[in-house]
Structures are given as structure tokens and as C-alpha cells.
Structure 1
Amino acid sequence: MLDLKTILVVNLATASLQAVVWIFVWLAWRHLYELKLLAAGFTAIAMGLLLMILRAEQPTAWSIVLHNTVIKLGLVLLAEGLARFLGQPRHTWIGISLLIFQVVVWSIALAVDPGNLALRIHSSTLFTVIMMSVMCLALLRDRTQPWLLRWFTIAVLGEYIAASIVHSAIEYWNPAAAQDITVLDNRNAWYLLQGVLFLIALFACLLFMVSSRLSAALREKNEALSREVVERRSLEKQLSTSLETERALREEQADFMRIVSHEFRTPLAVIRNAADMIGLVGDRSREATMERLSGIGEALDRLFSLIDRFMTNDRDNGFRPQSMQIGSLMADVQLHFDMTGRGERLHFKTGGEATLIFVDPDMLATVVINLIDNALKYSPETQPIHIDTLSAHGSVVIQVSDRGIGIPKAELHKIGRRFFRASNAKAGSGTGLGLYSSRKLLAYHGGALELHPREGGGTAAVARVPVLNGATEPALQEELVT
């Protein structure tokens, strides 16, 4: 026969340890405030068992009611804590109503028939069945916990419900003999023993639920952290791209200013040359003076045009293409060099003069002037410069050929970079921006610049520009001068 006192002590030890564990768990994870209700529930059960063990051999009726009500309060707190933890609807009113029912029924039973245990046991069974059914309902509705854990917990609760019903049935079919007001004897010890096993199993289930919740929260935080890391990397990449874009724009702006400054030299050179000639000729030749003044006027017009277009904040004003004949463009270039007194070394040969091109006249003229300037600068003064223009395969090709110092083969791929000058270029002969700006200006037209060494020495600079869309100018078959 099981000893009732021993089983009660085991129950007390089990409930007390579980209460302590839940208190520490709640202190560790304060954000899970529902855990304090579980800790309070196990504490109430432990206190009720302790009072039951310590009561006298002949306890008073009020102490019997109090001790059992404290244990039932623990069960209500467990049900409330579980519902809150799972985020399910709470039925607090059911627990409070059952506690009141427990106190009233037990008080009446002890007052009317103290020796009749059946009524008290049946009311306890009803209390247990209802409260644990509420807990089972919360578990059935829950979707946050693993399904296997939920069903195992329901099975544990179902076992205790079944044990309570069996206990009540035994008392109904085989009532105990009247023993004054003694509530339990050794024949009820089996019920308390399975209660110990129930507390252990319920404790394990609740602990696994908390662990599952914490693991899920940790996974969510890790996922959120991963998303934040990805987002921060994306923002960092966007910021880096923005900084690179801004740096590129600043560099382009500075680059553009260098090119414009470089190109301002051309009309200024015309003005200076014309002014020098006027100073030399003076009043001896009115016709020559008027010609030089006209050149100054054209140079100033070009300078003001450059300022208007390239120094404005409106970037759309920078490129102004229009339809024109290639012969007209080359005539303007030739006039420019005649005005600067350097036209005698230049030999122009224009094929397909009526070929229409859709270009910015100032930009393309600047490209050709830069190429000729380079040829003049790096060629002996006795050597002529040949400028050949032809239309071939949908493009206008302008080739400037010289017999100058040429370009070292190892440096040919570097020519045209900003500020780069060949190693054989004499000091102070240039800034390294002429070919660079020519390539930039040709890019507006969809054109390209190529540099080729010539047999016998010198360089051929070839600029290609697409002709006007729809032009029917036949391609010329002649070869470029080598």
C-alpha cells in the first residue's frame, strides 16, 4: 500500500522545484511576462501541498477548504498562463467561477456531512475536467507550437482528466467509510502519485514550448538581422555608387573645363595673330587691315559662342548638331589657318564636298583644328601637312597626315589619354589635352579617332563621323594617302 504522507512530500518537492525553475526562467526572459503566471501556478500548488502536509490530525473545516482551494488556484493560474503564452483567448471568468464554486460546495459539504468524501471528490473532478479542457482547447487552437508537442501536451492533460474521472468513479461505486472529517487516506495515494507524474510531464511540455518560442524568436531575429545586413549592404552599395557618380561628374566637370580652356586658345591665337599683322601693316594696306579685322571679328564670335555654350549651366546647349556640307566645314577650317598665318603648309583635298553630315559645326571644326595643330607642332617647318576628306561606307573620313616625329609604338595605345604626352614630344609643346578633347567631341557625334604610324615616318590621324541619315552620297573608292 502506498503511503499518503510520502506521496504528498514527493508532490511538494516536485511542485517546489518546478516553481523555483519557472521563477528563474521568468527572471531570465522578462519579456515573456506570461511565465510569471506559470511560476505563480506551480508555487500555489506547492504551498497548498505544504499546508496539507503540515495540518493537524483533525483539521478544521476552513483549513481543508483553504488548502484545496490554494491548489485549485494554482491550476487556474497554469491555465491562464498557458492561454496568454499561446496568445489564445483567456477564460479567466471560468476559473474564478470554478474557484467560487469549489469554496461554496466544499464549505457546504463539510458543514452538512463532514464524513462524506464523495461530494468533495466529485466537485474536484468537475473543476479539473473543466479547467484542463480549457487548456486543451487553447492548445488545439494554437499554431505557434510544433503540432507534435501540442498533441503530446493534450495527451498529458487528457491522462489527468481520465485519472480524475476514475478517481471520482471509484469513490462513487466504492465509497470510503466515514472517518470523521479526514479528506484522504492511503487508498487515494495512487491518484496523488500519478499527479506527480503529471506535474513532471506538464513541466517538460511547458519547458519545451518556451524553448520552441525562444528558438523561433531567435530565428526571426537572425532573419531580420540578415535582411538588415543585406539592406545595409545594398544601401552601402547605392551610397558608393552615388559617391562614384558624383566623383565622376565632378571629374567630368573639371575635365570639361580643361577642354574648354584648351579650345579657347584657338580663337585667341587668331586674334593675337591678326592684331600683330595689323601692327605690322598699319595704314599701308587698308584691304589687309580690314581682312585682319574681319578675322578678329570671326574669332571673337567663335569665342563668345564657346562661352555661351560651354560655360552655361544648361547642358543641353553644349551639343547643337545641324545639317551641313562637309566642303563648307573644311573651308572654314582652311580659313582659320589662313587667318593665323599657318595655311601655307596645309594641303586640303576634299572628296564629295556636297556630302551632308549632321554635326555640331563648332565641335567638329575644333576636332579638325586640333589634329592639324598637332601635325604642325610635331612636324618640321619644311614638311607639308595633308588633310584628305572623303565619304566612304556611311561615314565621312577626315585624315590629317604628317611627316613629323611620329609616336613610339609602345605608347600608341596611350595617346589620347588626358594629359598624356609621348616621350619623344619636346618639353612645353603641349598640354596633352588636344587629342583627348577631340575624342570627347567626336563621341557626341558617334564618331571615333584613330592614330596610325606612316611608312617613312610621321602619323596619320583619322577621324570618322557618320553621314546624315538617309544620305545617298556614293562611297568613294580612293585610298587614303599613306
Structure 2
Amino acid sequence: MLDLKTLLLLEVCTTALQAFAWLLVWRSWRYLYELKLIAAGFSAIALGLLLLTLRGPDPHALHIFVDNMTIKLGLVLLADGMARFLGHPGCLRVGLIILAAHMALWSLAMALAPLDLSLRIHASTVFTLAMMGLMIRILYVDRGQPSFLRWITIALLVEYIGASLLQSALIFLQPTLFAEAPILSDVNSWYFFQGHLFVVGLFICLLFMVGVRLSLDLRDRNAALAQEVTERRRLEGELSASLDQEKTAREEQRQFMHMVSHEFRTPLAAIRYATEMLGIMIQNPSDAVEKRLIGIDASVSRMTQLIDRFLSTEKQAVSGLKIEKLDLRRLTMEVQQYFDHVDLGQRLKVRPLDEAPDYWGDVEMLQTVIVNLVDNALKYSPRDQPVEVTFSRRNNLLVVKVADRGIGVPEAERSHVGRRFFRASNTRRTAGNGLGLYTCRKLIGYHRGTLDLRPRNGGGTVATIRLPMPGLATASLSNEITVEETERA
């Protein structure tokens, strides 16, 4: 005959160790959060068995109730944890409903017949049938675990159901055998022994299920990793093809720029030659004629300079930026003279700085930017409205503002102004190609500065250039820095 106290103590230790083992497994693989429920289920069973072990010879009814309900709560948590682990909807609500019904029947049996153990045992058998049947159904419909493992687990559950039915049958057929003995007598040792074997067997089956789950997860991750590697190789191939296309496009653009540069220089050279011939042929020209000839020559020089500095990419890489200290008075004078030659100087109001700024950069480029901005302001402003050019220093910046009372820029299109070939919708009646502001931004970018366009109070636009002081002074010793180096910087 088995000693029941020793058997219960062994089962308490075994179940507690199993609960601890599940906690360790969950700590190692946190994403398997369902293992917490399984660990909680084994912990509740261990606690209920410990309370049974500590029960005295004449226990209180509440003690008996708490012991048994704790063990059955553990079965509910086990069923819910196993269902969630296998990827099925949780059954905690159903389990708690079954447990609540069992508690009601158990309480009623203890209240009506406190000395009749058969009613409580039959109620426990019904609860066991319901919970084990729920777990069997979950395993039967599952397809994630190997079939042999599922059927072994189902066999364990069926064995436990059979033992519970056998206990109820023995009490029903031989009531005198249990009439004089308490429920925790050695007569019931066989039932607790098979329960111990059931818990150990269930632990082993669940452990194998976790191993299968981890193996499947590893296989899925390997497959996902292989797919990602394949996808990255495909993207790498597409990127390589795109880079090749970009190189081809850049080469075509370089050739196009070279062709445009050549085609532009030919008529400009003809204009310059014609201007020089007119200067030779016309003896003692009037002031107006001489002024016009000087203006034509200045415009041709500026166009040639623009081609050399902007359109010809190859020339930019070779000649680069010509760094020198900015002579602001000379710069403002040349800007003023340029527009005087085309009879627009009277509309220009220049406000230079009193002190010469300590700024280093490509003066010709900066002059081209200011001329382009002023030309735009004059072009899109009424003939009776002046254009103001203001130089100032603020927060270690050289600031140049070109303000007009022109047509302005539509608010919806303000972010697009300055893109290559883009022209605002309200400029269509005026000739242009959409390269002026783009050129300005490009040349200012070589100096690590910024160009902003803002609406002016009362109408018009304010173009603001901000150049960090002292500019490209670090390159002043070599007196030259390539455009590509400036863009990288």
C-alpha cells in the first residue's frame, strides 16, 4: 500500500519544479508568452497539493473547498495556456465558467451532505470530463504539432478521464469501501499516484511541443532570412542598373552641355566681333551709341562667363572656384554699371555696407547671382517701381537682399520656384527659361550659402542671400577650389 502523505509531498515537489522550469523556459524565449500561463497552472496545482498535504485529520469545510478549487484553477490555466501556445483562441472564459459551475455544485454538496463524499467526487469527475474534453478537442483540431505527439498527449488526457470515472464508479458500486475512510486515506493513493504520472507525462509532452515550436520558428526565420537575402540581391542588381543608367545619363548630359556651350559661344563670338567692328567703323560715336556698345559687350562677357561657370561641367571640375577677398564697393559699382548700360540703372537703389566685410569667395559668381536676381526683379516689376539691393551683416552672415514691388510668387508654387526650367504660373507673359533662379541657387550653394524667396509686405518679393562668414577663406591660400570639393563640403 502506498503512503499517501509521502506521495503527496513528492507530487508537490515535482509540480513546483515543473512550474519553475516553465518560468525558466519563458525567460529564455520571451515571445512565447503563453508559457507564463502554463507555469501559473503548474504553480496553482503545486499550491493546492501543498494545502492538501498540510491538511489535518479534521479539516474545516473552507479549507477543503480552497484546496480543491486551487488545483482545479491550475487545470483551467493549463488548458488556456496550451490553447494559446498551439495558436488557438484562449479558453480561459469557458474554463472559468466550468469552474464556477463546479464550485456551485461543490458548495451545494457540502451544504446539503457534508459527510457524503460521493457527491463531491462525482462533481469533480464531471469537472475533469469537461476540462480534459476541452483540451482533447484543442489537440484534435491542431495541425501545428506532429500527429504522434498530439495523440500521445490525448492518450494521457483520456487516461486521466478514465481514472476519474473509475474512482466515481468504485464509490458508486462499493460505497462501504469509502464510507468509513476519509478522502485522503491510503485507499485513494492509487488515484493520486496516477495523477502524479499524468502531470509528469503532460510536462514532457508540453516540453516536446515547445521544442517543435522553436524548431518551426527557426525554420521560418531561416526561410525569411533567405528571402530577404534574395530580395536584397535583387535590389542590389536594380541599384547597380540604376547607377549605370545614371552614369549614362550624366555622360549624355555632359555631352549636351558641351554642345550647348559650343552653340552658345558661336553667336556670342559673332556679336562681340560685330560690336568691335561697329566701334571701329563709327568715328566719334555719340554717348548713347557708345553706351549701347559698352552694354552689349558687357552682356556678351557675362553670358560667356555664365557658360564657363555653369553650363560647362568639365570646365567647372578643372578651373573650379576662383577664391579672392570680396571688394564690396567694386561689386556694387559693377552691378550698377551693368544696369546703367541697359538704361535700367535709375531704377536700382543699392545700399552697401559702411565697413568692408571680411568675406572670401568667387566674386564673379556672386556678381552673376546678384545681377540675375536684380534682372528678375526689374523684369517682373512695374517700370515706375524701384528695386532695392541691401547689404548687411547679421549673426556672422553676409546678407544680401533684393526687394521689389513686382507680381510676386503664388503661395502654392513658392516651394517649386528655383527648380530647373520651372516658371510660376503668373510669369507666362514674360520671356524666360526658368534657369535664372536655379542658377542662383547653384552658385550660392557652391559658397555654402542659402537663397530664400519671401513675399514682401505691401506686395512684391524679397530674395535673401545668406553667406556664412568668412566664406571660403580656408581655400584662399591656394586661390582655387574645385566645384566638386565645395559640393562635398
Taking structure 1 as the reference length, the TM-score comes to: 0.51
Q: CA separation in 2, counterparts of 1:152 and 1:184?
A: 30
CA contact (8 A) 1:45 1:75 kept: yes
- 1:178 corresponding residue in structure 2: 179
Q: CA separation in 2, counterparts of 1:169 and 1:113?
A: 19
1:461-472 superposed matches below 5 A: none
Q: CA separation in 1, counterparts of 2:259 and 2:96?
A: 89
What are the superposed Cα offsets for residues 178-199 of structure 1, whole Å, 9 maximum, x if unpaired?
Answer: 347x322112111111111111
- 2:52 corresponding residue in structure 1: 52
Structure 1 residues not aligned, in runs of 5+: 268-310, 312-482
Q: CA separation in 1, counterparts of 2:13 and 2:159?
A: 22
CA contact (8 A) 1:62 1:107 kept: no
- 1:101 corresponding residue in structure 2: 101
- 2:6 corresponding residue in structure 1: 6
1:23-62 superposed matches below 5 A: 23-62=23-62
Verify: 1:228 aligned to 2:195, yes or no. no
What are the superposed Cα offsets for residues 293-334 of structure 1, whole Å, 9 maximum, x if unpaired?
Answer: xxxxxxxxxxxxxxxxxx9xxxxxxxxxxxxxxxxxxxxxxx
Three-state SS of the structure 2 residue aligned to 1:2 is coil
CA contact (8 A) 2:38 2:82 kept: yes
What are the superposed Cα offsets for residues 13-52 of structure 1, whole Å, 9 maximum, x if unpaired?
Answer: 1110111111122222222222111111000000000011
Structure 2 residues not aligned, in runs of 5+: 267-310, 312-489
CA contact (8 A) 2:4 2:186 kept: yes
**2:137 corresponds to which letter in structure 1?**
L
CA contact (8 A) 1:41 1:77 kept: yes
Three-state SS of the structure 2 residue aligned to 1:84 is helix
Three-state SS of the structure 1 residue aligned to 2:225 is helix
What are the superposed Cα offsets for residues 102-133 of structure 1, whole Å, 9 maximum, x if unpaired?
Answer: 32333333333333222111111111111010
Q: CA separation in 2, counterparts of 1:128 and 1:233?
A: 56
Q: CA separation in 2, counterparts of 1:131 and 1:76?
A: 7
Q: CA separation in 1, counterparts of 2:250 and 2:106?
A: 90
Three-state SS of the structure 1 residue aligned to 2:179 is coil
Q: CA separation in 1, counterparts of 2:92 and 2:257?
A: 80
CA contact (8 A) 1:19 1:40 kept: yes
Three-state SS of the structure 2 residue aligned to 1:87 is coil
Shift of 1:11: 1.1
1:40-439 superposed matches below 5 A: 40-175=40-175, 176-179=177-180, 182-251=182-251, 254=254
Q: CA separation in 1, counterparts of 2:178 and 2:126?
A: 22
What are the superposed Cα offsets for residues 381-431 of structure 1, whole Å, 9 maximum, x if unpaired?
Answer: xxxxxxxxxxxxxxxxxxxxxxxxxxxxxxxxxxxxxxxxxxxxxxxxxxx
**2:22 corresponds to which letter in structure 1?**
W
CA contact (8 A) 1:160 1:198 kept: yes
Q: CA separation in 2, counterparts of 1:124 and 1:244?
A: 77
**Alignment length (residue pairs):** 268
CA contact (8 A) 1:115 1:178 kept: no
CA contact (8 A) 1:72 1:99 kept: yes
CA contact (8 A) 1:115 1:179 kept: no
Shift of 1:5: 0.8
CA contact (8 A) 1:48 1:67 kept: yes
Q: CA RMSD in A?
A: 2.8
Q: CA separation in 1, counterparts of 2:10 and 2:96?
A: 28
CA contact (8 A) 2:26 2:35 kept: yes
CA contact (8 A) 2:77 2:92 kept: no
Q: CA separation in 2, counterparts of 1:108 and 1:249?
A: 89
CA contact (8 A) 1:156 1:198 kept: yes
CA contact (8 A) 1:88 1:141 kept: no
Shift of 1:215: 1.8
Q: CA separation in 2, counterparts of 1:98 and 1:254?
A: 81
CA contact (8 A) 2:81 2:90 kept: no
Shift of 1:202: 0.7
The 1:246–1:104 alpha-carbon spacing in structure 2 relative to 1, beyond 3 Å, is: closer
- 2:402 corresponding residue in structure 1: none
Shift of 1:62: 1.1
Q: CA separation in 1, counterparts of 2:65 and 2:249?
A: 87
**1:193 corresponds to which letter in structure 2?**
F
**2:54 corresponds to which letter in structure 1?**
L
Shift of 1:251: 3.7
Shift of 1:139: 1.1
The 1:260–1:120 alpha-carbon spacing in structure 2 relative to 1, beyond 3 Å, is: closer
